[in-house]
């Protein structure tokens, strides 16, 4: 049975009655197959599973989609029940931020200013602040995050290491539509032609990964595969797995962000970089 709580007090009472391994999956709702994969992975590795649903105002810029972000609590609760979630914590803004906007926030450091952070100032301060707060109130042994938001996953890992937060962070592979589109709550904003244009992101990553594996120029190949007539590229980069510089050979990551109409989409893949031929 899935229990829904809205307050920290009810969460604390329910959490106190959870012996064994506790896992958390944090979400902003609008749950899709990608979230189901997170919940499945978390369910398999825990005795008790908590999901949080909170559209965090701190991580939206003034011109971003906070107001129109989909809020689908009833449908989300059905997904949680089907996935075997024991407890859903769905606080409102005042419950999460009782003193208003928090004065003290987690500083993500230089990595928080690059890639997503360059286009979305303050975004990772907002993400890490709410993630830390949700870790404090749910006190899980394991927390699961999607690789789809790879920079977020990397920064959350770094935060728990740097700040000695006692939790294991587990990354879960991105779920894709059969044609390659990475699942995202924002895909529902896309009109049919935009949905088609959005395939540029995964196509570019595929081309980049293939080029890297042949010892070719991954970024050039990825840019060539990106259709800039229908989508506007923000960044497309090859990095190391920790988002540092790409190694000459070995494991790397390729990341892309682009605007399709008024919707900003991101995607990334693991790449194996062969020495240049």
Candidates 84-92, 126-134, 198-206, 269-277 — which segment interacts with ligand PAF by CB under 6 A? 126-134
How far the first Cα of the chain sits from its last, in Å, is: 57
Residue 1 or 94 with smaller CB distance to ligand PAF: 94
49, containing H or E segment: strand 48-53
- Using rule CB under 6 A, residue 268 touches ligand PAF: no
Candidates 25-33, 165-173, 208-216, 228-236 — which segment interacts with ligand PAF by CB under 6 A? 25-33
Candidates 95-103, 123-131, 243-251, 266-274 — which segment interacts with ligand PAF by CB under 6 A? 123-131
Cα gap 267→201, rounded to integer Å? 7
Look at residues 125, 171, 166 and name the one whose alpha carbon lies nearest to residue 145: 171
Binding mask 146-165 for ligand PAF (x = CB under 6 A): ---x--x-------------
DSSP H stretches of helix in the chain: 8-16, 33-44, 73-82, 93-96, 116-119, 123-138, 150-162, 192-197, 199-213, 218-225
Candidates 22-30, 76-84, 110-118, 260-268 — which segment interacts with ligand PAF by CB under 6 A? 22-30
- Using rule CB under 6 A, residue 127 touches ligand PAF: yes
Q: Taking the complex as a whole, how short is the minimal distance between the CB of residue 96 and ligand PAF, in angstroms?
A: 10
Q: Taking the complex as a whole, how short is the minimal distance between the CB of residue 55 and ligand PAF, in angstroms?
A: 8
- Using rule CB under 6 A, residue 269 touches ligand PAF: no
- Using rule CB under 6 A, residue 184 touches ligand PAF: no
Query: What is the full DSSP assignment across 72-121?
Result: -HHHHHHHHHHTT-SEEE---HHHH-TTSS-SS-----GGGGSTHHHHST
- Using rule CB under 6 A, residue 56 touches ligand PAF: yes
- Using rule CB under 6 A, residue 26 touches ligand PAF: yes
DSSP, res 44: H
- Using rule CB under 6 A, residue 135 touches ligand PAF: no
Answer for which of 5, 18, 22, 28 binds ligand PAF (CB under 6 A) is 28
Look at residues 99, 80, 86, 83 and name the one whose alpha carbon lies nearest to residue 40: 83
Size of the site for ligand PAF (CB under 6 A): 10
Answer for which of 27, 46, 239, 268 binds ligand PAF (CB under 6 A) is 27
Look at residues 185, 157, 146, 165 and name the one whose alpha carbon lies nearest to residue 41: 146
Q: CA-CA-CA-CA torsion for 54, 55, 58, 61, nearest 10 degrees?
A: 170
- In the set 35, 48, 125, 141, the catalytic residue is 35
| Residue 35 appears among annotated catalytic residues | yes
Which residues does the annotation mark as catalytic?
35
Q: Give me the residues that bind ligand PAF (CB under 6 A), please.
A: 26-28, 56, 59, 127, 130-131, 149, 152
């Amino acid at each position: 049975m899935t229990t829904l709580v809205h307050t920290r007090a009810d969460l604390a009472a329910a959490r106190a009655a959870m012996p064994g391994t506790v896992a958390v999956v944090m979400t902003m709702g609008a749950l899709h197959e990608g979230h189901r994969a997170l919940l499945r992975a978390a369910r398999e590795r825990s005795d008790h599973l908590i999901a949080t649903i909170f559209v965090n105002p701190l991580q939206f810029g003034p011109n971003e989609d906070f107001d129109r972000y989909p809020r689908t609590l009833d449908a989300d609760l059905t997904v949680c029940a089907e996935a075997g979630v024991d407890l859903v914590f769905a606080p409102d803004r005042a419950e999460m931020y009782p003193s208003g906007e928090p004065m003290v926030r987690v500083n993500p450091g230089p990595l928080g200013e690059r890639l997503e952070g360059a286009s979305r100032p303050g975004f990772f301060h907002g993400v890490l602040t709410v993630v830390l707060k949700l870790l404090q109130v749910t006190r899980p042994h394991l927390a699961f995050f999607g690789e789809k938001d790879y920079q977020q996953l990397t920064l959350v890992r770094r935060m728990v290491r740097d700040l000695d937060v006692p939790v294991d962070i587990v990354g879960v592979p991105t779920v894709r539509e059969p044609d390659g589109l990475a699942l995202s709550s924002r895909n529902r904003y896309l009109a049919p032609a935009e949905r088609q244009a959005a395939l540029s992101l995964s196509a570019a990553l595929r081309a980049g990964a293939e080029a890297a594996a042949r010892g070719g120029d991954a970024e050039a190949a990825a840019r060539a595969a990106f259709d800039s007539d229908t989508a506007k590229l923000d960044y497309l980069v090859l990095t190391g797995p920790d988002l540092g510089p790409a190694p000459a050979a070995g494991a790397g990551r390729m990341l892309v962000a682009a605007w399709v109409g008024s919707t900003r989409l991101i995607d990334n893949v693991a790449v194996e970089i062969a020495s240049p031929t």
